[in-house]
A and B are shown apart, each in its own frame.
Chain A
Amino acid sequence: MRNQLWKKLLIAALVIILPVIAAFGSDLIAHRQLRNLPAAEHIDRTIPLSACTLAGASAADDASDETSDEWSEDEEWAEDEEWSEEEGLDEEGWDDEEAWDEEPAEETAAEDASPDAPAEEHAPAEPEELDIPSGSGALIIPCTGWVEDLTITAGSMFDQAYRVVCTLEDGSAVTRTSRYMSAMGQDTIHIGLRVTELRLSFPESGAAVTSIQVNNTLEHNPARMAFWGLATLAVCLLIVFRKAFGKHPEWVVAIIAATLGIWLCVFLPANTGVTYDDQVHARNAFALSYGPTTSRATLFSDNLGNLTWNVSINENSTHVADTWRDQKLVRAVMDGVKDDGVSKPEVYRWAFTDIGYTPISAGIAVSRLFGASNTSQIIWGRLFNLLAYTVLVCLAIRATKRFRLIFAALALMPGAFFQACCITYDATIIGLCFLGIALAVDAILDRETKLTWQRALAMMICLLLGGIVKTVYMPLMLMVWLLPRSKFDSDRQRWFFKLAATVIMVLAVLAMVRGVTSGTVALQDDRGNSPDTQAQIDFILHQPFTYLGYFFSFIWTYFNIYFVDVYRTSWAYLGSLTGTLNTVSLALLLFCAFTDNAPEDDRPMRWHQRLVLFIIFMMAVGMTFTTMYVAFSSVASPNFDGVQARYMIPVLPLMFMLLQPDGVKNRLRGDIWPTVFGVMNVVILGSMALSLTLNAFWL
């Protein structure tokens, strides 16, 4: 007894100590070179602008060749004839002291560095700024020694990429790139090299640099420490609780959600432009957070909705903050947006989608009660979203005796898990559909137990709520028709229940139609290829076989994308997992699908049940494709535009259940296989978090 107690204490101590070691160890490793610096280099220092020189297209001589908008608007570079032809330019130009006096504050003194600048007019004082022209112009920064991070303060009208070419001690050069956001006025770029010189350039639009600072002080990176600590904690807990996973595989999902999930919620950019359409979701969630009858739009939620703090690159809205210093700055700017209460009322329409926003809005509202900052409200919204998703999925796993790991595998699929950590209603829909399907399928397979009122009620409500948010999932309610006769006390009870479910489904669809006709719900999406809703519906009704031909042909051609890849390892605008781990992820999912059948479970799925489930699955898929065809595609097009594979996720359990043969039994040890499953998911999710989040935004 005492030995067992000591053993438990030791395990508990290891579970606490190992993550702490991992957290601080990761920071030690990351800063190992910084730690070895001599004391003189272990400080932050500002590089004087007077020591810097311009290279390439110099400011004075080649200014006329520059095509930067900043130059073209400049009225003061009047000495050059080409400049004097510009509208409103002062012809007196360089030699006129008055012209210099008239310069606006942002005018550069780069001519001080130019050999042709009239030296007698400009005292060799520290310039206020150095103007780096666009194109091939660069600022040579004399900097010798270790440079951990470089913070550049500059003025530019445009958001743009910039680069720093680092000349190493051996003469070779390494280029670092980052993005500068004009709204921030400052950017930090991670160098992490021992250099002899740095060359800073803003090729797109140029910039006026006012300060350059080398940051060499050792500061802990909270994101890195939290990541390694939580990942280690997840593995420790998966090992410690392995014996419980045989009976409670849902704990695997809960552990991963409580570790990596929380990390993602906190350290994903506290902004929109993270996942699909989250600028719309954020605006709606913030509006709902003030209540279903008194919603508001605020200056902050408007900015989120307009992607104010993002930079558009190739139709993607990316995030400029790639270091933890930038993250602090961006979050400070975002938190600085004050509304002094509510800035303006918004015409608000409660819609069915608000069901999906409820957890997020609850998190935002609760955090706001406690005075949370703007970015903290986003984080709390995500945390509540993750909590709701985890609870629903864990209940789904618990509610069924077969296919448990299928639900777990789908719930931990990176694409789905990522949605749970973002501001989007998809996570709640997925959770509700998973729970509804689990309750229904388990009831269908269990022919011996009568249907209880709890299960009947929960199943109906979950399928109703999940389907009414997106009507394409309403056909899932038809699963009640598969309930065997033995579940009911009488034929009357059986018919009553099945008909009631069907009537509820029809009424829900009619309610959705009412929403469309009242203008609350939009059916046509103008982002599509010249959609014409009415003409498209006419085409489908008048040429149904042609339409079905297009549909099945499209499904066959793109089956892999919609049902295998399924955005499985996609993190929306942040990127995707490719390579070996992507293959491992697919293999893990398929293995679970084919083998999730315990030897003691003797409840076969009969062929007619599989057939009906397949039909229901295809109905949901068909409705999804048809809805997007009507809203997005041009009339009578053979292509289905706008259909995203992630729309299939809520109904994927049906597809994977169909794959599982009754004759295949999983005899792997109940305490080993779930643990291996969990650790593999930690590795996959952790790798994605490392590459797409930590190393992208928290350098």
Chain B
Amino acid sequence: MKSARNGGRIFCVALAAAMLILAVAAWFVMTRYTTETELLIQQHRTGVGALTDAPVTQRFTVKRSGLTAVNAMVSTYNKKLHEGTLTLTLTDAQGTVVATQTWQAAELRNNAFVSLTLDQPAKAGVYTLAATGDCTEQKGITLRMGPLKEGAGEAVLTLADGTVDAEGNGLNITLDMRKTERGVLPASLLALVGLCAVAALPFGGKERKDA
């Protein structure tokens, strides 16, 4: 009889505990990843000159973790190219190569972005993107550049001849940042249902029947 009387209380406690566990599970299981794109410059205005073996480098700051790709706008001077390559290399502050990729000139489109994808999301910090090319056809390959956006952080553009740009320009690159969204809504719903069970708990000690 006592166990029967306590049945309601046991049920409410069990329900509250189950909902809490499910809420925690939902928080992690229903995590969603989305991609946000951050820009480095306001508008591209010119090119950095034909790329050669001497790298053109762009140092930039990633303010938060989750960098998944760096996209750079390439220009072929509106010419169709057939020979040559473009190589982008991303290194971290310690000089470790994070990602590198080479494109054939023939597959490049004028004023289009090429995407240097990272194997796994990178942490916040300072990174350097180096661009080299060996295309001698027509006018070659270049990267577009323009004035830096406000709040771009530490960003330094070094041209192929070693000159550091002092006019506040940067390469036209965009950063793909992974955004993690935990399962807040389902977790909160489950937690609220658990709270309902807690609210009903005081009534579970004594079994009564409706009139």
Contact = CB atoms under 8 A, between A and B. Distances in A.
Interface of A: 292-293, 347-352, 355, 446, 448-457, 460-461, 464, 468, 489, 493, 496-497, 500-501, 503-504, 507-508, 511, 514-515, 518, 520
A457 B183 CA distance: 25
15 contacts: A292-B30, A350-B186, A352-B189, A449-B208, A449-B211, A450-B203, A452-B208, A453-B11, A453-B200, A497-B199, A507-B188, A511-B184, A511-B189, A514-B188, A515-B184
B163 interface: no
Contacts of A448: 211
A453 B210 contact: no
A446 B210 contact: yes
Interface string B4-47: 00001101100100000000000001101010000000000000
B76 to A, nearest CB: 32
Given A352-B185, A507-B188, A501 B29 contact: no
Interface string B168-208: 00000000000001011110110011011111111110111
A88 B128 CA distance: 57
Contact of A350 (B30, B198, B204): B30
A450 B188 CA distance: 30
Contact of A500 (B189, B193, B195, B206): B195
A398 to B, nearest CB: 11
**Among B11, B15, B197, B210: residue with most chain A CB under 10 A:** B210
Contacts of B30: 292-293, 350
B192 A500 contact: no
Nearest to B193: A461
Given A293-B29, A500-B195, A455 B210 contact: yes
Contacts of A489: 202, 206
Secondary structure type dominating chain B contacts: helix
A71 B193 CA distance: 65
A449 B210 contact: yes
A451 B196 contact: no
Secondary structure type dominating chain A contacts: helix
B210 A511 contact: no
Contacts of A496: 199, 202
Contacts of B15: 457
Contacts of B196: 457, 460-461, 464, 504
A456 B200 contact: yes
Contacts of A454: 8
**Among A452, A461, A508: residue with most chain B CB under 10 A:** A452
Contacts of A293: 29-30
Nearest to A499: B199
A455 B210 CA distance: 9
Nearest to A494: B202
A504 B186 CA distance: 15
B184 A514 contact: yes
**Among A453, A457, A489, A504: residue with most chain B CB under 10 A:** A453
Nearest to B182: A518
Given A497-B202, A501-B199, A518-B184, 15 more contacts: A292-B30, A349-B185, A352-B189, A452-B8, A452-B203, A453-B9, A457-B196, A457-B199, A460-B196, A460-B199, A489-B202, A496-B199, A507-B192, A508-B192, A518-B181
Contacts of B188: 507, 511, 514
B192 A511 contact: yes
B185 A515 contact: yes
Contacts of B12: 453, 457
A211 to B, nearest CB: 49
A156 B8 CA distance: 67
A348 B12 CA distance: 32
**Among B15, B184, B202: residue with most chain A CB under 10 A:** B202
